[in-house]
Structure 1
Amino acid sequence: MLGKKEKERLFLDKYLDQLEEKFEIESTESPDFILTRNNYKIGCEITDFYSDYSDTGSILKRSEVYVNRLHKIVRKRIKERYPEGYSINIHYSHLVINQLKFIEEAKSLEEEIKNHINERQIINPTPNIRRVIILKTNHSTIINKSVTSNYEDTKEEYINYIVKSKSQLASKWFSKFESNWLIICAGASGANDLDLRDISSSDKFEFYNWNRIILVDIFTSKILEIKENSKINYIAF
């Protein structure tokens, strides 16, 4: 699994691959990357898209972190109990309603699976799991994870809030660079759905001192580039 910095570099590379210019790339803490070409320096910050982004953070993001940690424990425990003979798909809720201790919820799920191992489906086995699908196989047990989508139409205010918030954090280094870019990423998880088709040229975007805003959706392989004149450019990769 890619780490945070590796994911950020992946998103950056997806965008830069579409440009004719070639940059030297330096990984830093703040901004995330410095791009240099012919002594022209660009500060580049990369962040995830969450529709509930706020000053206090994102509930969706916290839920995603919880689910990822829970699944890691669940997968290990179930594989140890059933190393062979099953394909088990665990459907998690995108919004965690009860953040139990990871071990407690993992133990509870393990017990439910043990009690219903011969059934095809278990509904709501724990507070944060919608259902478990169990299929018998002739190979090593596979544990799959899926997360219910929280899809809703993408609105310009979602983007503007992220842009403003990131601008406030980046204000201390804006003046160090000739240009500043913000890349907003989606598609790497089910908790941050972003449909670029919802964004049109009639939408009004606030730049808050960013020179360029780039929306990258890995799932649909699309990029939306918004420059200072609010011109929108769609790119497929």
Structure 2
Amino acid sequence: MAAQIQRMDRAQRHQAVFLALRRLQAPLLDIEMPGDWGVDPAAVDSLLRCGAGRLDGEPDDVFQQAIAELSRAPLFESEIDPDLTGSFQLEAIGGWILLGEALGEISEVQTDRIIILAREQADYLDECIDGTLMAVEGEERRETYLGSVGDRLRVYGLGYFATRNLEVEERCHEAILAASASGDLLTSGAWPDLLNSCDDYSSEMVSVLHSFPRQ
């Protein structure tokens, strides 16, 4: 997968990063943030909308303004000790800020950093599931998936979410690279399918996060 990123141009790296952040998006949209964070849901919606509006890797003033608006929240002026769900929301926001800082360059290192963030969050959620004595929704489905996954992913010995994230990541990167020869991915029928795959994965994360009590 590192070799795939090395073959991408700047616009393709931006698309790969956007899809990685899409896999972290549902906790921002579907779970209310703590009131003392002072985060306006409209500012989050604007950030996500502007972030999806232009995926060529070039500087984007509208997107930067959306980041600046969100960054005015009290959240960024105080120390935060988040619960599990809050940590996923903070990491997702941090990923979008990293993307804003990368626009105009989006080097391989910057691309890796955000894509690895999505991998680390998936692995962290698996650790939380393994470490709890509570019943977590979807256990049978997760076991069935891990029992049927192909050897290419099984060899890593990862949990459900880390494996699923890699599966979707690989599908996204293959489509991004294939489009370089066949046309613009963003206007093809493959793009909605990739978005749906990322959203389905992200929604599963939210279902599991709901199983854990909030502070």
Range of TM-score over shorter length: under 0.3
| Structure (1/2) with the larger helix percentage | 2
- The normalised TM-score by structure 2 is 0.23
Which fold has the larger relative contact order, with Cα–Cα distance below 8 Å and residues 6 or more apart in sequence?
A: 2
Larger Rg: 1
Query: TM-score, normalised to structure 1's length?
Result: 0.22
